[in-house]
Amino acid sequence: MRRRSLRARLLAIGGGGALVTVVALAAVAAMASRLQRELTAATVEVLEEQQIADRISTGVMRQLATLAAAGGIGDSTVRAGFDAAGAVVSEGVRSYLFRPLSIDERLALERVNEEHRQMEVAAVRAAQAAENGGVLARSDLQAQALGHALGLLDAMDAFLRQRQANFDALLVAQREQIARLWWLGGGILVTSAFAIAWLLPRFARRRITAPLAMLGEASRRLGEGALGVRVHEEHDDEFRALAQSFNRMSEQLATMQADLEGRNQALETALEEVHRAQADLLEAEKLGALGRMTAGLAHELNNPLASVLGASTLLETELREGRALPPHEMLERFVTPIVREATRARLLVRSLLQFSRRAGGAVEPVSLRDAVENVRELRQHAFAQAGLRLEIAPLPEVAVLAEPQQLQAIILNLVNNAEHALQGQAGGRLAIRALVDEGVVALRFEDDGPGVPALDRVFEPFYTTKPVGEGTGLGLALSRRFAEAFGGTLRVDNRPEGGACFTLVLRVADAAPAPRPAADDVMPSNALDGRSVLVVDDEPELRALAARALARLGVTVHVADGVASALAILERTRVDVVVSDVRMPGESGLDLHRWVLAHRPALAEHFLFVTGDVSDPALAALAAERPEAVILKPFELREYLGRVERMLGGAVNGER
């Protein structure tokens, strides 16, 4: 099949059809026109012949009248008139000669001609006889002339009737031809209309709608994901080009999909690497922060420890040298500083433990004041050491929606950043204040530092102004992400008067924060005679300290260095309260608790865990269910004894 464009095909069909129709109609019209012209010409000829016949008749009559009225044929004027009239007749007859006459018509015409010639001869002779006398009577010659004249008229009449008959026949034939032509023209139009009505839908279906339907079906399949779908290209140019484009598109889509899948795979691999890198970075950040914090903590702890050690050493020296000072002086000079500094160290450790707890819990009401206080406790001495001021305005007692550890991480990060920005700036100040307004709290951190050089980039991951090795550039990015996870925001501005201002906006919680275990400031002093407490700890010093402290309650103290020895004691001795470390060589305190649950269920409610880490999920769940069952190391002795005393107060006696 020869390829052509749809346009060319339409033009060819339309033009060809139109041309054929027009040509056919034109031919019919030409034939009709020719017939019409022939009819017109025949009509004109009939009229002309009628005029010729009139001239012939008139000429004959004039010739006869000339001879009858005039004096004599010898008169040249008379003869000239006679000849002129005769010439009209001859011319008239001869004018027929070159017309398309039939043989019969020509024969009839020749009869006219001969009758005229003989009429003229007889007429002239009759006239001459009248003038000159003669043998023949003029009347006889005139009769001959008249006879030929009548013969001429009869012949002329016959000729004309023959012409009329022939013309009528021609007229009828031509009218029939014209009628046939009309039928032919109508037939052509009807045929053309039928051909168009029959061919056009077939053409449209075959050349237009079928390819369109095929393309539509292919497009539908393509849209459903059948990227390998192809369409036939054996169409007219336009649809072939469309089909080729479709096939190319389908092929390209298949290629692109394969490429996309490859890229997706690569992206997934890259994403995994990024996640790993991010985890590594987070870990690095965490470790870095921990390192920095540990370094600061060591510094912070060294001071109270140095005080404790100094006071203890002096106390030891005083006691060894036997210099008995009054108790209140001993208390004021040695014991009170030791307790104060040890308490300070404890607070530092507790704050550190708060940060060491694993984040990722649910967003819950958190005390904003406690969160800030924890940070302050961690960093205020560092600020003081650096000659900086950490000023915290009185904070409202408001609970905000946050994950506690992440909230403290945000605050600590902002405080650390400010400290870094204020380094070398004596008297530099970080002011923290809170503004409560319509369900939100804006916690503002305003410092006197140099401000943030690139406000629009400061929250970008890995952006940092710190020297290489001192920061990961993730602190602020993570802080903002945490804040947004809480439903709040973290933004930064440079203060007009200088310095940066970070604003942490948090939602106010409807509920109050969960109560924190409160320390009992009162050292129990009343003895609980007859009761027994089992202390399980792998650290001998702690076991001895616990035994001495518990002895002040007047209870019987059993000590075990591990779970196995503890079980042996429980098997043979009545115990009212178990105080156990969690992490120990071999089985843990949790294993012991499970044993108690299984074998001494009533004792399970009098089980006090002493631990420095509540990261274990089972322990965390237990602490969440029963906060009184867990006490964190290091602890104040009063709180420790208070817990044990409250448990002993509710203990069920007699259980083994």
Q: How far apart are CA 307 and CA 341, in angstroms?
A: 7
Rounded to the nearest whole angstrom, what is the least distance from the CB of residue 235 to other proteins in the complex?
A: 26
Q: Which residues contact 579 (CB under 8 A, 6 or more apart)?
A: 533, 534, 535, 536, 546, 550, 608, 610, 644
Of 106 and 389, CB closest to other proteins: 106
Does 135 bind other proteins (CB under 8 A)? Our answer is yes
Q: Please choose, from the candidates 95, 94, 86, the residue with its C-alpha nearest in 3D space to the C-alpha of residue 66.
A: 86
Token pair belonging to 182: 């009309």
Tell me the CA end-to-end span of the chain in Å, nearest whole number: 105
Does 103 bind other proteins (CB under 8 A)? Our answer is yes
Q: How far is CA 573 from CA 397, 534, 577, in A?
A: 48, 10, 12
Of 101 and 519, CB closest to other proteins: 101
Q: How far apart are CA 126 and CA 144, in angstroms?
A: 9
Burial class (CB in 10 A: 0-12, 13-18, 19+), 582: buried
In the list 63, 113, 367, 472, the residue contacting other proteins (rule: CB under 8 A) is 113
Chain CA centroid to CA 363, Å? 33
- 41: phi then psi, degrees, rounded to nearest 5: -60, -40
Amino acid at 132: N
Q: Select from 112-120, 195-203, 251-259, 622-630 the region that touches other proteins (CB under 8 A).
A: 112-120
Rounded to the nearest whole angstrom, what is the least distance from the CB of residue 165 to other proteins in the complex?
A: 19
In the list 49, 120, 300, 636, the residue contacting other proteins (rule: CB under 8 A) is 120
Q: Which residues contact 19 (CB under 8 A, 6 or more apart)?
A: none
Of 72 and 530, CB closest to other proteins: 72
Q: Which residues contact 377 (CB under 8 A, 6 or more apart)?
A: 347, 348, 351
In the list 21, 57, 118, 565, the residue contacting other proteins (rule: CB under 8 A) is 118
Q: Select from 122-130, 397-405, 502-510, 575-583 the region that touches other proteins (CB under 8 A).
A: 122-130
Does 101 bind other proteins (CB under 8 A)? Our answer is yes
Of 97 and 384, CB closest to other proteins: 97
Q: Select from 128-136, 493-501, 514-522, 635-643 the region that touches other proteins (CB under 8 A).
A: 128-136
Q: Select from 126-134, 181-189, 275-283, 473-481 the region that touches other proteins (CB under 8 A).
A: 126-134
In the list 5, 57, 58, 128, the residue contacting other proteins (rule: CB under 8 A) is 128
In the list 121, 305, 431, 519, the residue contacting other proteins (rule: CB under 8 A) is 121
Of 109 and 399, CB closest to other proteins: 109
Q: 153: which strand partners?
A: none
Cβ distance 239 to 261 under 8 Å?
Answer: no
Token pair belonging to 563: 């779970």
Binding-residue pattern over the window 59 to 88 for other proteins, x denoting contact by CB under 8 A = --------------------x---------
Q: How far apart are CA 372 and CA 410, in angstroms?
A: 10
Q: Select from 46-54, 111-119, 264-272, 385-393 the region that touches other proteins (CB under 8 A).
A: 111-119
In the list 32, 129, 155, 559, the residue contacting other proteins (rule: CB under 8 A) is 129
Rounded to the nearest whole angstrom, what is the least distance from the CB of residue 140 to other proteins in the complex?
A: 9
Stated length of the chain: 656
Of 84 and 602, CB closest to other proteins: 84
In the list 43, 77, 132, 265, the residue contacting other proteins (rule: CB under 8 A) is 132
Does 98 bind other proteins (CB under 8 A)? Our answer is yes
Binding-residue pattern over the window 583 to 612 for other proteins, x denoting contact by CB under 8 A = ------------------------------
Cβ distance 152 to 57 under 8 Å?
Answer: no
Q: 430: which strand partners?
A: 390, 447
Of 130 and 347, CB closest to other proteins: 130
In the list 61, 107, 158, 431, the residue contacting other proteins (rule: CB under 8 A) is 107
Looking at 509-636, list the stretches that DSSP marks H as alpha helix, in order from N- to C-terminal side. Answer: 540-551, 563-572, 589-599, 601-604, 617-625
Of 124 and 153, CB closest to other proteins: 124
Does 117 bind other proteins (CB under 8 A)? Our answer is yes
Please give the full DSSP string across 108-174, using - where no structure is assigned: HHHHHHHHHHHHHHHHHHHHHHHHH--SS-HHHHHHHHHHHHHHHHHHHHHHHHHHHHHHHHHHHHH
Of 77 and 257, CB closest to other proteins: 77
Give Dmax over CA atoms of the chain in angstroms: 221
Give the number of residues in contact with other proteins, rule: CB under 8 A.
Answer: 27
In the list 41, 136, 258, 282, the residue contacting other proteins (rule: CB under 8 A) is 136
Q: How far apart are CA 366 and CA 511, in angstroms?
A: 9
Chain CA centroid to CA 593, Å? 57
In the list 35, 63, 89, 125, the residue contacting other proteins (rule: CB under 8 A) is 125
Of 5 and 90, CB closest to other proteins: 90
Q: Please choose, from the candidates 361, 437, 360, the residue with its C-alpha nearest in 3D space to the C-alpha of residue 398.
A: 437
Q: What is the DSSP letter of 73?
A: T
CA dihedral 24, 25, 29, 30 (to 10 degrees): -30
The residues binding other proteins (CB under 8 A) are 79, 90, 94, 97-98, 100-101, 103, 106-107, 110-111, 113-114, 117-118, 120-121, 124-125, 128-129, 132-136
